[in-house]
Amino acid sequence: MQRLKQKYNKEISKKLASELNIKNFMAIPKPVKVVVNMGIGDTLKDKSLLEAAIKELSDITGQKPSIRTAKISVASFGIRRGMNVGLKTTLRGDRMYAFLDKLFSIVLPRFRDFRGVPLKSFDKVGNYTLGIVEHNVFPEIDITKSRSRGLEITIVTNANNPEVSKKLLEYLEMPFEKI
């Protein structure tokens, strides 16, 4: 069992239940899934770049991503409907906890001048979205052989508001910025 999942089951769920006065253990907030997106608009002309991007994202997440296609044509960007424009991976269960553990303890502290992730990235139902400019901060990526790409990581929780979700992510050791 993953370290973070074990910590959630033994410590965090009990802490949250007592703090939020929740009697039903099924109502305790928990992370449901993590969605990782990567834009691949630069791979339209070179198929080897697409294969490299797929390999890099699968190395980062531990599972093969699905290729997302454009739904509409946008002439100013040179995109036609049906072209490959992104990669998406949805992580659940043990892979989700392993990815979150790696993200919180290894990847985020590797950023230069890292002072914490912003608190304003919660949506109204408590999901947190984090944008990473360069995916090269992940330890699986060889910087000399890869092109710098951006990632969007969304942590979906079953909490119904941002305050409860923030408390959950703090207990999971997500490094928020100090105000």
Taking only the tens place, the pLDDT of each residue in 81-96 is: 888 888 999 999 999 9
Q: Which residues contact 68 (CB under 8 A, 6 or more apart)?
A: 37, 84, 85, 86, 87, 88
Q: Which pLDDT band holds residue 167 (cuts at 50, 70, 90)?
A: very high
Determine the pLDDT at residue 1: 58
Average pLDDT, the chain: 88
Which helix or strand (DSSP H or E) is residue 91 part of? strand 84-91
Q: b/e map of 129-164 (b: 16 or more CB within 10 Å)?
A: eeebeebbbbeebeeeebeebebebbbbbbbeebeb
Beta strands in 1-53 (DSSP E): 31-39
Determine the pLDDT at residue 25: 86
Tell me the pTM: 0.89
Amino acid at 62: G
Determine the pLDDT at residue 32: 95
Q: Which pLDDT band holds residue 34 (cuts at 50, 70, 90)?
A: very high
- What letter does residue 12 receive in the DSSP assignment? I
Residue with tokens 């070179």: 46
Taking only the tens place, the pLDDT of each residue in 46-102 is: 788 888 889 999 999 999 999 988 888 888 877 788 888 889 999 999 999 999 999
Catalogue all structural domains in the chain, each as residue range(s) with its CATH number.
Answer: 3-40+56-66+85-171 (3.30.1440.10)
